[in-house]
């Protein structure tokens, strides 16, 4: 391809150069185009590596529709699944599947594997349209070994979890994730996090953290992640760093100071964030840890007990977000609440009761988008040297089962939104979407346009680039992503998906 401004993903300034792709790899950057190859004129456009989405929840949606439409149309060529402690790399069990309902948008996806290699084989057999790498979800380890009880793991259980983790890392997982709000993970003590971090560090892999609190407890929670990083030397990622609730705005600066101090002492701690002022999670995330004991099959019926409801309401009296900041975004079965805020549903009445009724009716099968964040904080995080951009979203198909509800628009628009609304220096911004996240994962040959690297390439028109997905109309592909190559195969051309699915399952650092 010739005539385009090449941003190679390293942050180096752009240069006009010819990019030659041959046999799935970048054959050269900058040399004259031979006459025996297909020539694509990309004048006026930017040529860069495909985006490496280090933080996604596409574990099961990739099996619902392996084309990964909402992602590849925004330029993503690598999806990292298994984030926030959530994962599917164990034998199917009703309580486990309910605990990871956030991932589970298509009930027809059969959970046929029993471990991480089996899961990766299933993804490979499905023929993904993007590359896929997987973290090991801590929730899976704890649920399998300890169940959903609120108690410390015994030394024998820690050994068992460590062994399962080691096997999965040896089999090609790129790291470990935790999510200390998703039952049973609120019940994990620090010794457990240290033990698992040690195993991950010994394998030279990354530990990503959905920390215990992003609101009033943010600093304490980031301190815990940084402490574990310091004590184990494990490469560490603070996922989707944000401060939730007006009274906590500005706390991200203090969190980043903790990251800086650890890195100054030789640790490797990074952060990622998506360019939106709302998050997305199961509504059940608002429940206190004690109320989630026993797992979803236990806590859902417990919500019928007036005493339990009263105790939850008591805990909610000083919540950092308000009910008009919480919108119902997806439900496992259609309910009139979809698309409304809790405040709207309450009609001026009691939002607590509306939320509890929804949880009692739908359990983990109800998702929310939640606001209460500051644009200044977001820009502070995005400007930090360690920050990379990640969607925290899912690969969705607007015409399929996963195209239901009003999900967070990040699943469709994250990267174009960032590049057009939050980036000052385009070369550095592209780096934060490509080589920087790839390096965090140890995927040294992804995220760069370099001779010999796999040809994951995006061509976009900087004049037309932009996100179109909104919170009320989210199922809209991004504009301006004209051409996407995955491992050299043309996957999007002229803004249209070609039907090609050339993604690889990335097992380990050198894939
Ligand atoms: Zn998370």
Low-confidence ranges of the chain (pLDDT < 70): 508-511
Look at residue 35 in the predicted model and tell me its pLDDT: 81
Q: Which domains does the chain have, with CATH numbers?
A: 50-278+373-442 (3.20.20.140), 283-370 (no CATH)
pLDDT of residue 382: 98
pLDDT of residue 31: 73
Q: Which residues crowd ion ligand 1, with CB under 5 Å?
A: 84, 210
Between the CA of 123 and the centroid of ligand 1 the distance, in Å, is 22
Helix (H) or strand (E) holding 359: helix 351-362
CA of 72 to the centre of ligand 1 (A): 22
> The dihedral of CA 40, 458, 454, 64: what is its sign?
negative
Cβ contacts of 26 within 8 Å, gap of 6 or more? 19, 20, 449, 450, 451, 452, 453, 454, 455, 457
Q: What is the pLDDT of residues 287-315, one digit of tens each?
A: 999 999 988 888 999 999 999 999 999 99
CA of 209 to the centre of ligand 1 (A): 8
Cα of 223 vs centre of ligand 1, distance in Å, is 17
| Per-residue pLDDT tens digits for 98-129 | 999 999 999 999 999 999 999 999 999 999 99
CA 244–ligand 1 middle distance (angstroms):
13
CA distance 483 to 496: 8
> In angstroms, how far is CA 503 from the centroid of its own chain?
18
pLDDT value, residue 509: 52
């Amino acid at each position: 391809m010739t005539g385009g401004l090449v941003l190679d993903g390293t942050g180096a300034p752009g240069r006009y150069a010819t990019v030659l792709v041959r046999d799935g790899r970048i054959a050269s950057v900058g040399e004259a185009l031979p006459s025996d190859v297909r020539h694509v004129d990309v004048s006026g456009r930017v040529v860069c590596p495909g985006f490496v989405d280090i933080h996604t929840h596409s574990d099961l949606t990739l099996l619902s529709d392996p084309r990964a439409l909402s992602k590849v149309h925004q330029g993503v060529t690598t999806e990292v699944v298994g984030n926030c402690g959530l994962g599917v790399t164990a034998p199917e069990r009703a309580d486990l599947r309910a605990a990871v309902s956030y991932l589970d948008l298509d009930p027809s996806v059969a959970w046929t594997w029993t471990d991480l290699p089996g899961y990766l084989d299933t993804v490979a057999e499905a023929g993904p349209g993007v590359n896929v790498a997987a973290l090991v979800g801590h929730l899976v380890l704890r649920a399998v070994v300890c169940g959903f009880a609120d108690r410390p793991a015994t030394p024998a259980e820690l050994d068992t979890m460590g062994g399962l983790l080691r096997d999965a890392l040896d089999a090609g997982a790129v790291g470990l994730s935790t999510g200390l709000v998703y039952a049973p993970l609120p019940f994990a003590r620090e010794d457990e996090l240290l033990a698992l971090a040690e195993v991950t560090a010994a394998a030279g892999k990354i530990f990503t953290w959905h920390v215990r609190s992003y609101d009033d407890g943010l600093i304490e929670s980031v301190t815990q992640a940084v402490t574990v990083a310091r004590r184990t030397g494990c490469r560490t990622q603070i996922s989707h760093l944000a401060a939730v609730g007006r009274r906590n705005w500005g706390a991200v600066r203090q969190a980043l100071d903790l990251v800086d101090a650890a890195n100054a002492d030789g640790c490797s701690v990074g952060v990622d964030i998506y360019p939106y002022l709302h998050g997305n999670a199961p509504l059940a995330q608002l429940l206190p840890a004690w109320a989630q004991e026993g797992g979803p099959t236990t806590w859902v019926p417990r919500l019928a007990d007036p005493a339990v409801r009263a105790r939850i309401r008591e805990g909610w009296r000083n919540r950092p977000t308000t009910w008009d900041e919480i919108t119902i975004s997806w439900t496992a079965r259609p309910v009139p609440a979809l698309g409304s805020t809790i405040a709207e549903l309450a009609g001026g009445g009691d939002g607590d009761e509306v939320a509890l009724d929804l949880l009692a009716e739908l359990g983990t099968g109800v998702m929310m988008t939640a606001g209460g964040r500051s644009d200044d904080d977001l820009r502070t995080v995005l400007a930090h040297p360690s920050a990379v951009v990640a969607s925290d979203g899912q690969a969705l198909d607007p015409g399929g089962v996963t195209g239901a509800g009003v999900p967070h628009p990040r699943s469709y628009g994250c990267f174009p939104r960032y590049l057009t609304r939050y980036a000052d220096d385009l070369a550095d911004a592209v780096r934060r979407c490509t080589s920087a996240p790839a390096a965090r994962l140890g995927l040294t040959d992804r995220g760069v346009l370099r001779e010999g690297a796999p040809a994951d390439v995006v061509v976009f028109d900087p004049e037309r680039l932009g996100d179109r997905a909104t919170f009320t109309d989210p199922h809209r592909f991004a504009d301006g992503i004209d051409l996407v190559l995955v491992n050299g195969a043309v996957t999007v051309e002229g803004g249209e998906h070609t039907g090609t699915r050339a993604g690889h399952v990335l097992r380990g650092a050198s894939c």
